[in-house]
Structure 1
Amino acid sequence: MKSLFSTISKQIELPLQLVIYPNKFTFIDLFAGIGGFRIALEKLGGQCLGYSEIDKQASKVYQQNFINYLNKNEIELGDITKINQLPINIDIIVGGVPCQPWSVAGCLRGFEDPRGKLWFDVIRLVNQSQPKAFIFENVSGLANPKNRDNLELILNELTHIGYCVKWKVLNAYDFGLPQNRDRVFIVGIRNDLEKYQEYNFPHPLNIHPKVLDILDELKNIKCVEKVKLDADILFKGAIPPSRTRFQKDDELNDFFIFSDLRNGHTTIHSWDIIKTSDREKIICLTLLKYRRSKKYGEKDGNPLSLENFQEIIPDIDINELNELVKKQIFRLTADNKYEFVNSKNMTGINDIYRIILPTADIFPTLTATGAKDYIATVSIHANHPEDYKNLFLEKIYQPKKYIPITAKHACKLQGFPTDFEYHPKNEVAKKQFGNAVPVPVVEYVTKELLKIIDI
């Protein structure tokens, strides 16, 4: 059967003359970003023959870190869609193929998104150059049921051009970084090599630093052992199904979320930080509880009318609802119903979505778009959820004992070296790190590969 990618038209040719230095293996760095793959492969003895990156700001950071008089003849390949030919004698091709088409943030458009079609060029270049092996990285969304057919298509095409292909979702946390970052890694070995079927992905390292261990501002904070609590105390009898592997069912959470649409034991609502009476808090919690009831509409969150409130709280008065409007907790819709002003989860409250405690085992996934996440600069300890929440408000939120995530933090959370020269603008650098691959994961994936291929 003819390959789906065999009909791609010829592209612009690039010069292939370069100086070869004595290294263990050679590689090409596709979708190079700021060099996460390169750091890991060079540490293991690799020599980069060329790199491809179309983002000018990322390319500038890449060049200032890796391109010097020793490798000034290294090929800048540019736009992958315009590459006709790669340098000869490549051992490994690597790359973090653009992930937005397969992510929730990117609306899961897959191959409908032009960035999703870049996989066609990846496969075309692997087929043309026939490296001994390749390593590609993508968001875990590529392995979701919704995208599984697309993943299978990619794997089948890579197999069709002569490779034994394996994939696995790996988390940065399992390789020494306190970051919850799931990513799909796809590894292929050319099937004319002796051990082409023997590749195994690396096992977790069982090395788990906490957030405070890698951030300089938190070095003096002491860890206190958390108390064990009954799940009924933490969740009032109903454990939420959305909890991750990093949230224990018998411990208080390591973070606080600012949201009027949730009600976990570490959720901070607008009525927690605006002066409100107990009665007003009951009214707010009523809207929170019943806004998703199908009785009041088919949307995921429905506004409630005065009559709806009166069905639940018979003695409620319209003035009570309007007082919450004055306090900017509720707002009136066009049809005179009441909904929360803070009506989107990721928007948070007062420009804060999440504050992570320094004693946390894990930091949420860094993203290119960024999140309104902060790190507390003091720790708290409590034996009960209510005390925990009150302590947070008193010791952290009100005195503003928290700091934003900086590029320096992101650099460490992604496992880049401390001497890495990132972009001088903090927001640009954070975006670039959010797009990057976690360096230690690449290192251990590559170590296992080098055991198999004959270099």
Structure 2
Amino acid sequence: MQKIQFVDLFSGIGGIRLAFEQAADSLNIESECVFSSEINSDARLVYEKNFGQTPLGDIRLIEKLPEHEFLLAGFPCQSFSHAGKKEGFGDTRGTLFFEITRLLDSYKPQAFIFENVRGLYNHDRGQTLATIKHEIKKRGYSFDAFLLNSANFGLPQNRVRIYLVGILNASPNFKLISDLGPKDSHSYNPQQLSLFYPTKKSVTVGDILEENPEEKYDCSPEFVNALKRIFNNDLNRLHGVRLIDYRGGNSIHSWDLGLRGECSSEEIELMNRFILKRRNKEFGQEQDGKLLTQEQIASFFEHSELREILNSLVTKKYLKLINNKYKPLSGNFSFEVYKFIDPNKISVTLVASDANRLGVYHNHRVRRLTPREGARLQGFPDSFILHHNDNKAYYQLGNSVSINVVKAVAQEAIMKIPINSLCTR
């Protein structure tokens, strides 16, 4: 049987490795990870539990690698601060990407797959990606960049990431198609974007939910009661609702819930109009940081006791008074949940900073998504061992990759390398 040897850099908890192994197995090719590197000790712990190997630490201290055909890396997106100073490209020295090019120079693997955040595509007006492309192509590799959405690969998550693929001394034609997918998690329409993932029944959040998770994931009775009051006990109306203080639309605000003190109907109405109006250009070009005077507020909220209402909102800390101008005090991180996902739709993007505050109303319970459900959103099998600390598990999953997407990318990349370049058993 043919065998691919690969290295796994910036490995995190091992998502790219897992996906690559699945891809090779689907093509009846054996794979062997000959080296892995990850600087975070918590991620190394999870990696070791699942793969029986402990990644080495700082990539900058790596001097030698075993021979390998594939280089995999989910490298951090660092700013190329000197972009444009040399032949229209930035200088990669001093960045972690330089460590990757250093290893490419030394070992010339047959191919690479890199994963990164969507923002890399347009970072520094495209100069960062141009720098990467320039550095890769001058080393003899092809260079393709795909923007792929996890929702198009059988996962109920609206997650766009960039995937960079290169084959040594080749000009491959990949069947993958860049596609940003749905505008939001409520407008998902499955499409056929890969030879390996034809159109099929769309997967929704409901497909990944646990039937009876532990009670520790339930929201507090006080929070639930406030939600019941707002929705007249019809909690099905929670589906798709955001909890955020500086946007309108399908949102619940801290003053609706009375998190800092119960508000009168007039106070709620003023705050709702404030959020809507302060984003209008009639009060200036600023967006979320705009401050309004009492006179400006009176132009859209006429009330004989306006000053008293404003003072009450300042006292309750829904508004802040700065130089006789009013500004809402954002309470977004005080919410137990920042978004209730709809079981009949797909999820918003799972991110490290607040993966622990995604909520759902399911089986008559108002609760947070569990770490296992977060892992399912990313395509990890239930056999994958998560960190024993929930908050660390949430963080790691938000930083990880979508298994299905990397698997599809890896399948195509593996088929593009010369067969005679693989070792045999």
Q: Does 2:23 correspond to 1:39? A: no
Return closer, same or farther for 1:140/1:63 CA change in 2, 3 Å cut-off: same
How does 1:47-58 map onto structure 2 within 5 Å? 47-58=32-43
How does 1:235-314 map onto structure 2 within 5 Å? 254-264=239-249, 266-274=250-258, 276-293=263-280, 296=283, 299-300=286-287, 301-314=289-302
Deviations 1:34-80 (A, max 9, x none): 11111122222311111111111211211221126xxxxxx955322
Asked whether the 8 Å contact 2:290–2:327 carries over to 1, the reply is yes
Asked whether the 8 Å contact 1:415–1:438 carries over to 2, the reply is yes
Which residue number corresponds to residue 172 of structure 1? 150
* Corresponding letter in the other structure for 1:67: G
* Corresponding letter in the other structure for 1:136: F
Once the two structures are TM-superposed, the CA of residue 157 in structure 1 deviates from its matched residue by 0.9
* Corresponding letter in the other structure for 2:8: D
Large movers: runs of 4+ above 6 Å = 110-114
Query: Is 123-132 or 315-324 further displaced after alignment?
Result: 315-324
Asked whether the 8 Å contact 2:71–2:113 carries over to 1, the reply is yes
Once the two structures are TM-superposed, the CA of residue 312 in structure 1 deviates from its matched residue by 3.7
Q: Does 2:381 correspond to 1:417? A: yes
Asked whether the 8 Å contact 2:238–2:340 carries over to 1, the reply is no
Which residue number corresponds to residue 6 of structure 1? none
Separation (CA, whole Å) in 2 of partners of 1:139 and 1:85: 28
Asked whether the 8 Å contact 1:31–1:53 carries over to 2, the reply is yes
Separation (CA, whole Å) in 1 of partners of 2:91 and 2:394: 28
Once the two structures are TM-superposed, the CA of residue 364 in structure 1 deviates from its matched residue by 1.5
Separation (CA, whole Å) in 2 of partners of 1:146 and 1:316: 50
Once the two structures are TM-superposed, the CA of residue 308 in structure 1 deviates from its matched residue by 2.5
Separation (CA, whole Å) in 2 of partners of 1:310 and 1:113: 54
Q: Does 2:394 correspond to 1:433? A: no
Once the two structures are TM-superposed, the CA of residue 441 in structure 1 deviates from its matched residue by 0.9
Once the two structures are TM-superposed, the CA of residue 189 in structure 1 deviates from its matched residue by 0.5
Separation (CA, whole Å) in 2 of partners of 1:443 and 1:286: 47
Separation (CA, whole Å) in 1 of partners of 2:91 and 2:390: 32
Separation (CA, whole Å) in 2 of partners of 1:253 and 1:337: 34
* Corresponding letter in the other structure for 1:283: L
Q: Does 2:60 correspond to 1:81? A: yes
Q: Quick one: which of 131, 140, 150 aligns to 2:128?
A: 150
| Other structure's SS at 1:146 match | helix
Deviations 1:6-47 (A, max 9, x none): xxxxxxxxxxxxxxxx65211111111111111122222311
Return closer, same or farther for 1:369/1:303 CA change in 2, 3 Å cut-off: same
CA-atom RMSD in angstroms: 3.0
Once the two structures are TM-superposed, the CA of residue 298 in structure 1 deviates from its matched residue by 5.5
Return closer, same or farther for 1:368/1:289 CA change in 2, 3 Å cut-off: closer
How does 1:34-433 map onto structure 2 within 5 Å? 34-43=13-22, 44=24, 45-67=30-52, 76-88=55-67, 90-99=68-77, 101=79, 117-144=95-122, 146-191=124-169, 196-201=171-176, 203-204=193-194, 205=197, 206-207=199-200, 208-217=202-211, 254-264=239-249, 266-274=250-258, 276-293=263-280, 296=283, 299-300=286-287, 301-317=289-305, 318-331=307-320, 333-341=321-329, 343=330, 347=332, 350-359=335-344, 361-371=345-355, 373-378=357-362, 401-433=365-397
Once the two structures are TM-superposed, the CA of residue 338 in structure 1 deviates from its matched residue by 2.7
Deviations 1:383-418 (A, max 9, x none): xxxxxxxxxxxxx8xxxx321233212211111121
Return closer, same or farther for 1:147/1:61 CA change in 2, 3 Å cut-off: farther
Which residue number corresponds to residue 9 of structure 1? none
User: How many residue pairs were aligned?
Assistant: 358
Once the two structures are TM-superposed, the CA of residue 139 in structure 1 deviates from its matched residue by 0.5
TM-score normalised by structure 2 residue count: 0.76
Deviations 1:129-182 (A, max 9, x none): 111111111111000263511101101111100111111111111111111111
Separation (CA, whole Å) in 1 of partners of 2:46 and 2:301: 59
* Corresponding letter in the other structure for 1:263: G
Separation (CA, whole Å) in 2 of partners of 1:57 and 1:348: 24
Q: Which has the higher contact order (CA 8 A, sep 6+)?
A: 2
Return closer, same or farther for 1:372/1:256 CA change in 2, 3 Å cut-off: farther
| Other structure's SS at 1:85 match | coil
Return closer, same or farther for 1:58/1:87 CA change in 2, 3 Å cut-off: same
Percent of matched pairs sharing the same residue: 35
Deviations 1:256-304 (A, max 9, x none): 011232221x211334334555443432233223323455455423233
Return closer, same or farther for 1:435/1:271 CA change in 2, 3 Å cut-off: closer
Return closer, same or farther for 1:147/1:50 CA change in 2, 3 Å cut-off: farther
Return closer, same or farther for 1:310/1:435 CA change in 2, 3 Å cut-off: closer
Asked whether the 8 Å contact 2:39–2:56 carries over to 1, the reply is no
Deviations 1:99-120 (A, max 9, x none): 3659xxxxxxx98999x81111
Asked whether the 8 Å contact 2:38–2:56 carries over to 1, the reply is yes
* Corresponding letter in the other structure for 2:272: L
Which residue number corresponds to residue 385 of structure 1? none
| Other structure's SS at 2:416 match | coil
* Corresponding letter in the other structure for 2:65: L
Which residue number corresponds to residue 13 of structure 1? none
